[in-house]
Amino acid sequence: MLSDAQLRAQLPHTLRQLDLPALGSLYRGKVRDNYSRGDQIVMVTSDRISAFDHVLGTIPFKGEVLSRLTTFWFDKVKDLAPTHLVSVPDPSVMVVKRATPLPVEIVIRGYITGSLWRDYLAGKAGAYGIDWPLGLKKDQKLDRPVITPSTKAAYGKHDEPISEAELLRQGLASPETWKEACALAQRLFARGQEWASSRGLILVDTKYEMGIADGKLVVIDEIHTPDSSRYWMAKAYVQRFMAGQDQQMLDKENIRQWLIKEHGFSGHGTPPALTDDVRVMLAHKYIEVFEQLTGEVFQSAGGDVQARIEQNLRKAGLLK
């Protein structure tokens, strides 16, 4: 684990964005800068952090953690699903095959917590077309993993819950593709939960993005990262659940809870600025889950992330 001093030293060098028009046509998402040319995309994972559909700032080493974890997980599930990964020229960069993304996020949940719990309390959880049991408790394990799809909104707008019936009615996916995507999500989630359990963690919920490439359904973007997934420490779960205490979280929910509890912010209006202390705290959480999942000590050269990426892209022949 990197020290506080090492994380603070990286604060001025985080990657906010990468402007390299020579790589191709740019699409800038909440976290990734994607440069496309032909059927290939250079996917740069920045250090930006977003919550409630707002970009809040940057976290030291976050892009590298997400990218390295995604390639780790792509390897873990290669027998279950094809992915769009082609090569990894830099710790924060993946070269991927272009795919036509499904216009929905496939969210799968093993526990009722986070936004689903907030919706359940407010009586809004029926938007998924699911008849939820009465009397559920916060952080309770569900009888079986449940898929709760959401629409994919542009930056600054909110993803919205949608039922299976409604997404099929709108033609967001064909019945055959949706059935295949849900079955694949269930298999991926089972594999993720199994591995997380072996590492002392609970994979609570996650979201998958999928697309069509060469006529086949493929997994795209990221998988089982602390941005797209919720992780709890397994050994503390039962005691904390029985006591009604918050779980020990190793994911982006830490920043959501900071925004809600400290600033009353849940997506409306202007988000508060992140303090350096919060940025360092989050960096520790991201690195901790990386080390817990992979069994590796996280090491990085640090320093100017953009300069390193440019150098590695030139070595790979992707940038002249």
Provide the token pair at 106: 């496939």
Environment class of 299 (CB within 10 Å of its CB; exposed 0-12, middle 13-18, buried 19+): exposed
Position 13 scores a pLDDT of 97
- Which residues touch 160 (CB under 8 Å, ≥6 apart)? 127, 150, 151, 153
- Report pLDDT digits (tens) over 140-167: 999 999 999 999 865 555 678 999 999 9
The amino acid occupying position 268 is H
Could you give the CA distance from residue 224 to residue 159 in angstroms, rounded to a whole number? 19
Ramachandran sector of residue 94 (left: φ over 0; alpha: ψ -120 to 50; beta: rest): beta
What kind of fold does domain 101-243 have according to CATH? D-amino Acid Aminotransferase; Chain A, domain 1 (3.30.470)
Over the stretch 190-239, which tens digit does the pLDDT of each residue have?
999 999 999 999 999 999 999 999 999 999 999 999 999 999 999 999 99
Sheet with 93-97, strands from edge to edge, namely 25-28, 32-37, 40-45, 93-97, 85-90
How confident is the model at residue 218, as a pLDDT?
Answer: 97
Predicted model pTM: 0.93
Residue 155 has a pLDDT of 53
CB-based contact 179:210 (threshold 8 Å): no
**Residue-range domain boundaries for the chain:** 101-243
- Cα separation, 57 vs 31, in Å, equals 10
How far out from the chain centre does Cα 257 lie?
17
pLDDT of residue 157: 58
What averages of pLDDT result for each successive group of 10 residues across the chain (320 residues)?
93 97 95 96 97 91 97 97 97 97 96 94 92 95 96 68 95 97 98 98 98 96 95 97 94 87 89 93 94 96 95 95
User: If you count DSSP H runs as helices and E runs as strands, how many of each does the chain have, helices first?
Assistant: 9, 14
